[in-house]
Amino acid sequence: MNNVMDNLKKIAKAVLFIALFVVLYTGSREVLRNKSESEALGKIFTMPNESYSVVLAGPSHIQYGVHPSVLKSEYNISACNTATAAQSMPTTYYVVKEMIERHSPEIVAVDLFCMFYPEVYFTPTRFHQAIDNFPIGKNKAEAILDLAEVSKSEFFLNYMLYHGRWKSLTRTDYTVTKEYDETSQVLYVTTPFENDFVPLDKAIKNEVPEVPLQYLKKIVDLCKETNTELILTVIPYRADVDNNDVTGAYQQSIYNKIEEYAQDWGVEYINLLYHLDDMGFDFQTDMAEFSHLNESGSMKVSKYFGKILKDRLEN
């Protein structure tokens, strides 16, 4: 009898130790995690009982280009923006998958800016900015196993990546908030450009790199399987400027080719580079820099795109 009691005590102590370790590890990891980038994504994932009609996904172009607060105030659309900096299409696929499973949106809108990059992700840091905000679960594990090109343990056990931040912790690192401040997704600077942008002839096309095309098709299939409407879009920017040695003409030729795919897939495609006049867009006042919209530009795009979303939700 004594041996049984001793064994039960040992088991209880072991269970208590493991539980305490998990709590301390999880808590310290959250405190130490670098929250300067993309924290909104983690809060959106885990927002309890929140229902979104529209999910915006992709890289920073849509992050700074379409604001849920404007969609709410102008059209009473409940939306969230899951974009992160340089979010690759493979990463976007797993973001969309997580959001559909958690929040069942009626519409998912995906920006196509990163489609001309052939990589699974741009850098490990950019992948961290998205994947570190995923809740622990099947989709996070699948994304890491599928996409991580460096040590996969770095993404499963990211504590080692951030443990050195203890020297730079501030009060906000210890603060838990359920909401995110959308004003952090607005750029209040202006870089004027001449209004001489002319979109590329739609007849000029180039083949889309295999990896992003593969994952874009997975998003298309996922949305069809879940009866979720998908809209593919290109948020305005100076698409005639070279970006990381990728010419503006090549970028636009990829968008033109994707329009052809979208027609074959039966998916709505809205390249806003061809709607600038309809929005009253002004490159002298509406750009933060060549690649991102400022407050003025994002208001115009949010209102214009919001009207499209409203129409799709009502019909």
Is residue 155 in a domain? no
Provide the pLDDT for residue 121.
Answer: 87
Residue-number span of the structural domain to which 9 is assigned: 1-32
Is residue 153 included in any domain, yes or no? no
Does residue 12 share a domain with residue 64?
Answer: no
Check whether residue 106 and residue 27 sit in a common domain: no
Task: Enumerate the β-bridge partners of residue 111.
Answer: 233
- Is 129 among the domain residues? no
Strand partners of residue 80: 55
CATH number at residue 103: 3.40.50.1110
235 and 302 assigned to the same domain: yes
CA–CA distance, 206 with 210 (Å, rounded to integer) = 12
183 plus 106 within the same structural domain: yes
Asked if residue 263 and residue 213 are part of one domain, the reply reads yes
pLDDT band at 135 (very low <50, low <70, confident <90, very high): confident
Same domain, 199 and 300: yes
118 and 1, same structural domain? no
Q: Give the sign of the dihedral formed by CA 176, CA 181, CA 184, CA 185.
A: positive
- What is the Cα–Cα distance from 211 to 218, expressed in whole angstroms? 11
As for how many domains the chain has, the answer is 2
pLDDT by residue (tens digit) across 76-125?
999 999 999 999 999 999 999 999 999 999 999 999 999 999 989 888 88
Residue 128 belongs to some domain of the structure: no
107 and 191 housed in the same domain: yes
Same domain, 213 and 247: yes
**Cβ-contact 62, 235 below 8 angstroms:** yes
User: pTM here?
Assistant: 0.83
Residues 65 and 26 placed together within one structural domain of the fold: no
More confident site: 171 or 120: 120
Within a domain: residue 133? Answer: no
Residue 181 Rama label (left phi>0; alpha psi -120 to 50; beta)? beta
Kindly report the backbone phi and psi dihedral angles of residue 40, in degrees, each rounded to the nearest multiple of 5, phi listed first: -60, -35
Whether residue 190 lies inside any domain: the answer is yes
Alpha helices in 46-88 (DSSP H): 60-63, 68-75
Residue 175 confidence (pLDDT): 45
Predicted confidence (pLDDT) per residue in 189-200, tens digit: 999 999 999 999
Residue 219 and residue 72 share a domain: yes
Taking Cα atoms as reference points, which of 252, 246, 237, 242 lies closest to residue 206?
A: 252
Task: Output the six-digit token pair for 163.
Answer: 């443990």
Tell whether 217 is covered by a domain: yes
